[in-house]
Amino acid sequence: MAGGVELFLRIVLPMLVLMTMAQGANGSQAEKDLIQDLLRNYDVMVRPIDKYNDIINVSFAVTLQQIVDLDEKNQLLTTSMYMGWTWNDTYLKWNPDNYSGIVEIRLPAKKVWKPDILVYNSAVDSFDQMLQTNVVIWSTGAVEWLPPGLFKTTCDVDIRYFPFDEQRCTMKFGAWTYHGGMVDLALPDENAILDNYIPSGEWDLISMKGHRTSVKYECCPHPFVDVTYTIHMRRRTLFYGFNLILPCVLVCSLTILVFLLPADSGERITLGITVLLALVVFLQLVADNLPPTDVIPLLGKYFACSIVMVTASVVCTVISLNFHHTTSANTNTMPGWIRFVFLNFLPRILRMKRPGENSFRRKFLDNQAEVVMDGKVEEYPLMVAGERLGNWMGTNQTELSPLNEAKKELNDVLHEVRFITSRMHNDDEDEKSALEWRFAATVLDRFCVIFFIIYFVVSTLFTIAVAPGVLLPPDN
C-alpha cells in the first residue's frame, strides 16, 4: 500500500501536472494565434460589412449608476453610467474547433472598429467621455462593448416650483459621422437598466426612458439616427424646508409681534427692519443657487410676498406711532375720513369700544362757557339800591367808593376765572384729541395684526397648494 502511494507521488502526479501545463500552453498559444489571425489584415477604419450598402445595426442600452450632481446655476447634469453596445463584425469570426474551442476573446477597443457614438449635448471639451475598455468578441462575430463614463451634459432646468420641482434632463447619443444608411441604432428596451443604481441624496429618480429618433438635417441627404434618454427626477425638499422655508416662516411670524409691542417701547421699527433684512438674506441665498433667468421660483415668490408683508408692516408701524404721539388738537386736527375709518367704521368691525369721556368735567366747562363767552359781569343788585338811596338822600354815586372798588376786584377775579376756564378747556380738548389719536393707533394695530395673520396664512397655504407633490399628486 505504501509502495503504491509512493509510486503515485513520484510518477503519476508529475505527469498530470505536465499534461495540465501543456494544455494551458496550447490554450494560450491558440488564443495568440487566433488574435494574430483576426488582426492580420484587419483595418479599424473600415466598416465590417460584406457589401457597402449593408447597415450595421448597433443594439443600444444604458445602465445608470448614480446621479452625481445637478448644477442648477450652470444647468449641468453629472451622471455616472456605463453603456452597452452590441454589433456584428463580419471580419471577426472564427471556428472554435480550430482554436482549442475558444468561443470568445477580449481585445483593446482601439484594435477593432467601433461606431463613433458620442453624447450630442455634452458640456465638456472632449465629447467622448467614455473609458476605452476592452471589447468582448464572440466566434459568431458579435462584438460587445461596455464602456463606463462620468457624463456631464446640459440640462434645461425648470425652476418655477423650486424647491418642490421636478426636472427632466435629456442625454442624446448618436453616431457623429455615420448616417442612418450606414449605422443604425436599435433600442431593445426603452427603460434604462437601474439594477445597480445608487440613490442620490438630493434627487429621487422617477424614471429613465429612451426613444429612438431619425432626423434629417439640411446639410446631409441621409437621416441620422440618435437615441435620447430622459432622466425624470424629483427634488427632495427636506434640506430646503429645514434650512430655508422653516426659518422664513418663523421670521415672518415675528412681523405680527411688531404690533403687539407697546408703542412707547421704541423697538417696533427696529424689529420690523431686522425681520426685513433677514428675509433679504434668505432671498439672496436662493438667488445664488439658481440660474439668472426670467422665471421666478416658487420659493422666491414666497419670499417676495413675505418681504412685501414686512415692508407694509413697517409702514403701518410708522403710521401707528405717528397716531400714538399726536397730542395737540389745534395743530393736528383729525381729518374726517380718519375719524370715520378709525373711530367709527373699524371699531365696529373689530368690536372695540371708544374710551368714555369725563362727563362731569365736560358739563362743568360747558356751563361756564356762557360766563366766559359773555366777557362782562352784571352789576350787583346792591349798586342799584345804592343809587336809589343816594338819589333819595341827595347824595352822589361817587361817594359809594367801597362798592366801586368791590366791583373792580370782582371783575379782576372773574378775568382770572375766565383765563383758568379757557386753559382747562384747551387742555381738555388736547386730552380728548390725544385719546382719539391713541385710540386710532390701537385700532390700526388691531387691524394690522388680524390682516397680516390672514395674509401670512393665505400666502403660506397657497405656496404649499401650488407646489407639485405636496397636496396634489405629482405629474409622473
Q: Mapping DSSP to helix (H, G, I), strand (E, B) and coil, where does residue 3 land?
A: helix
Q: Which of 197, 221, 236 is the last residue of a domain?
A: 236
Q: What confidence score (pLDDT) does residue 199 get?
A: 94
Q: Mapping DSSP to helix (H, G, I), strand (E, B) and coil, where does residue 119 land?
A: strand
The total number of residues written for the chain in this structure: 476
Q: Is residue 7 part of a domain?
A: no
Distances (CA, A) of 251 to 247, 304, 447, 463: 6, 14, 20, 17
Domain check: are 349 and 290 in the same one? yes
Q: Which of 220, 236, 252 is the last residue of a domain?
A: 236
Q: Is residue 30 part of a domain?
A: no
Can you name the residues that pair with 234 across neighbouring β-strands? 166, 204
Q: What confidence score (pLDDT) does residue 340 get?
A: 86
Residue corresponding to grid cell 434629417:
216
> Do 166 and 235 touch, CB atoms closer than 8 A?
yes
How many other C-beta atoms lie within 10 A of the C-beta of residue 120?
A: 17
Which three cell numbers mark 258? 411688531
Q: What confidence score (pLDDT) does residue 360 get?
A: 44
CATH of the domain at 103: 2.70.170.10
Domain check: are 373 and 442 in the same one? yes
Domain check: are 168 and 186 in the same one? yes
Phi-psi region of 112 (alpha: psi -120 to 50; beta: other; left: phi over 0): beta
CA separation for the pair 169, 154 (Å, rounded): 8
Domain check: are 221 and 243 in the same one? no
Domain check: are 274 and 373 in the same one? yes
Q: What confidence score (pLDDT) does residue 8 get?
A: 46
Domain check: are 71 and 202 in the same one? yes
Q: Which of 236, 259, 290 is the last residue of a domain?
A: 236
Domain check: are 174 and 261 in the same one? no
Domain check: are 241 and 130 in the same one? no
Domain check: are 180 and 214 in the same one? yes
Q: Is residue 85 part of a domain?
A: yes
Distances (CA, A) of 388 to 377, 394, 406: 21, 10, 18
User: How many structural domains comprise the chain?
Assistant: 2
At 158-205, the pLDDT tens digits run 989 988 999 999 999 999 889 899 999 999 999 999 999 999 989 999
220 residue type, one letter: C
Q: Is residue 47 part of a domain?
A: no
At 352-368, the pLDDT tens digits run 877 654 444 454 445 54
Domain check: are 296 and 216 in the same one? no
* DSSP classification of residue 94: -
Q: Residues in the chain with pLDDT < 50?
A: 1, 5, 8-9, 17-25, 357-361, 363-365, 368-386, 389, 392-393, 395, 476
Q: Is residue 178 part of a domain?
A: yes
Q: What confidence score (pLDDT) does residue 267 get?
A: 80
Q: Is residue 32 part of a domain?
A: no
pTM of the predicted model as reported, rounded to 2 decimal places? 0.72
Question: Could you list the residue range(s) of the whole structural domain that residue 130 is in?
Answer: 56-236
Domain check: are 307 and 449 in the same one? yes
Q: What confidence score (pLDDT) does residue 270 get?
A: 87
Q: What confidence score (pLDDT) does residue 30 get?
A: 87
Among residues 80, 65, 85, which one has the least CA distance to residue 195? 65
Domain check: are 222 and 371 in the same one? no
Q: Is residue 4 part of a domain?
A: no
